[in-house]
Amino acid sequence: MTSADQILAAVGADQQLAALHAQPWDDPVPLGVRRRTLPTFPTDALPEWVGAMVAAVAEETQTPPDLAACVALAALSTAAGGRALVNVRGSWVEPVNIFTVVAMPPGSRKSPVFRAMTQPLLAAEKDLIERIKPRIIEAELALRVARAAAEKTAAVAANSGKPGGDPDKLAEATDAAMVAESITVPVQPKLVVDDVTPETATSLLAAQGGRLAVLSAEGEIFNIMAGRYSSTPNLGVFLKGHAGDMLRVDRQGRPAEHIDRPALTLGIAVQPEVLADLARTPGFRGKGLLARILYAIPPSNVGYREAEPDPVPDRITETYAANLARLVSVMHDWDDPARLLLAPDARPVFLAHRQRTEERLRPHTGDLAHIADWGSKYDGAVARIAGLLHLAQHIEDGYRHPISADTIKAAITIGEYYAQHALAVFDAMGADPDLEAARTIHAWLEKHRPEQFTVRQLFNGIRSATYRKVADLRPGLELLEEHGWIRHQPAPERKGPGRPPSPTYHVHPCLHAGAQPPSTPPATQ
């Protein structure tokens, strides 16, 4: 190339660079939202009597419907959990209990929503107590009489005057003791607790036939799980209580507690920052607790609420309360879980969904790949939701009817809502390394405010154990460019041998010129 050609090429490169700088910038997309907004809970997928209550409570409390909907599913899980299984195929069964967590900021009226959606459970619990009270009194009296008779016959055998006791009297005393031992006093029913230690939860599960719900408008239960009272995390009862795996606890000086099919329900509301803390708690993700949770992070509408909203109509409240209490009553006496089968036309619908899920788990290409621990339980969660919707539609005799294709479709719709919110939650937790790299670069740009930078300058500025080589930064740079925070500049023409120049990026004016950037909330918006 002649000197004249080199001059022209340089002029052309300068013109290209000037044109690039002159090109207007669009508003960048905040990191974490992936150029999408999170969906609102699909209340139309709920049974009519549940959806009507959700919509009415959301209106009266001026809260997003997501909160009431998630608590409603937890309430259905409380009513039916441990008493029914969805037979997906072959030996694959899913119990119909769920863990759900809603993240909303302080002042979001979480407590009134919890009260409205769970009050019927407390009323149903009271009815169960009244129903079983005569049996408790009768059993306690029979036990006292049997123990008195056993003590009396034992005394007669001991005073028989024969060495080792009279064999006939000993046999009578043994029979009397066995009669006393065979009498079981029913335990007073308890459906719901608030914050409970793992040890207490285990004891309550054993006493309540393997069924219990932790429903709370606060997230204190996670601090307890993390070891507030024991210094070490104790997750066994929560992990097995979700999976339905046999739970056996041996404690010194106390009888062993053995639960064949524990079914624990969690319905919790937390503040958004708690979600990030969960990922940093030892064992919470590694042992699979976070993968079991259905997350919801609806946007706050504080500042946009009506002062005089419509109250919940009495007929809606009464229908919801009656149906939920009836479901509790119908399912409470099931000792062996009812088996819910899929209708023939529902099976291909669910199969197609499962095939899509498998594709979404593919490394590098699937959107669920970086949260494969959660994604691997996604189909099971959809089956559980389908079971709950089915029982809510067939309160009296759900076990007599197969789960319909429409119910499976509704469960898939709700499941997709939870999948999108899980992606946002795990991104906020740092589960996506590409997003974390982009955030690290973004923070460096905010601190140094360069108008442009080279990759080599960036690498020298943030080199760490996480970013050991320049290639480690590439996914973060691509994500920032995709979101409109930076632009890759054309590479200048190479002149002679040697290492090629480091790639250069131009930076959005809001990062280097002091312009007001768009808000970058955690992935809750």
Model confidence at 63: pLDDT above 80: yes
**Residue 519: what pLDDT?**
43
Q: Which of 357, 92, 353 is nearest to 244 (CA)?
A: 92
Mean of pLDDT values over 54-68:
97
CB neighbour class for 440 (10 Å; exposed up to 12, middle 13-18, buried from 19): middle
Q: Which helix (H) or strand (E) holds 212?
A: strand 211-216
Give 7's pLDDT tier (boundaries 50, 70, 90).
very low
Of all residues in the chain, what percent carry a pLDDT higher than 70?
86
The domain limits of the chain are: 43-128+264-430, 192-211+221-255, 433-511
Mean of pLDDT values over 168-190:
88
Model confidence at 231: pLDDT above 70: no
Task: Dump pLDDT digits (tens) for 246-277.
Answer: 887 666 566 676 788 899 999 999 988 888 77
- Tell me how far CA of residue 380 lies from CA of 158, 311, 350, 523, in angstroms: 60, 36, 11, 25
Of all residues in the chain, what percent carry a pLDDT higher than 90?
52
**Residue 360: what pLDDT?**
95
- Tell me how far CA of residue 501 lies from CA of 137, 251, 478, 481, 492, in angstroms: 87, 67, 19, 20, 8
**Residue 20: what pLDDT?**
52
Model confidence at 65: pLDDT above 80: yes
Model confidence at 79: pLDDT above 50: yes
278-305 b/e with 16+ CB inside 10 Å = b?
beebebbbeebbbbbbbbbbbbbeeeee
pTM recorded for the entire structure: 0.77
Model confidence at 233: pLDDT above 80: no
**Residue 435: what pLDDT?**
78
**Residue 253: what pLDDT?**
60
Q: Which of 359, 356, 361 is nearest to 374 (CA)?
A: 361
- Of the given ranges (67-81, 136-150, 458-472), which has the lowest mean pLDDT? 458-472
Q: Tokens 């490169």 appear where? A: 13
CATH ID of 433-511, from 1.10.10.10, 3.40.440.10, 3.40.710.10, 3.30.530.20: 1.10.10.10
Mean of pLDDT values over 90-96:
94
User: Looking at the DSSP assignment, which residues form a beta bridge with residue 99?
Assistant: 266, 293
Model confidence at 33: pLDDT above 50: no
